[in-house]
Amino acid sequence: MDYISGRNERSKKDIPLNKIIFITANDDDVYIKTLEGYFKILEKLYYFEESTKLGFLRVSKSFVVNITKIRELSPLFNSKIKLRMIDGELIYVNRTYVRNFKEFIKKGVV
């Protein structure tokens, strides 16, 4: 699948996967963030978590990021990693997910 259907308050549209910056969950709702804004989707986070070939990586309980949309990363003293995405949004890689994230860095994926 190259597209995912999402909707915001104005419209419903098919969004190319390569335009997604990150995916976030809030209670039972899941949203994707693009440079155009947030779009609600029906898929769950684990759908994207399994999509590392597409460039998505789980970094916390509530976030999956598109690793090609990371502008910079900074290690923190509390064993977390701070990510600045291309839209300026800050997302933190929680300790549980740091090892997997570092493996991606070593492979040259990020």
Domains of the chain: 3-106 (2.40.50.1020)
Q: What DSSP designation does 81 have?
A: E
pLDDT at 49: 77
> CA-CA distance, 75 to 24, in Å (whole number)?
22
pLDDT tens by residue, 11-57: 999 999 999 999 999 989 999 999 999 999 999 988 887 776 778 99
Q: Identify whether the C-beta of residue 94 lies closer than 8 Å to the C-beta of residue 59.
A: yes
Stretch 62-89: mean pLDDT = 94
pLDDT at 47: 84
Stretch 89-110: mean pLDDT = 86
Residue bearing tokens 């549209």: 13
Q: What DSSP element (H or E) covers 62? A: none
pLDDT tens by residue, 55-71: 899 999 999 999 999 99
Half-sphere exposure of 53 (CA within 13 A, CB side): 4
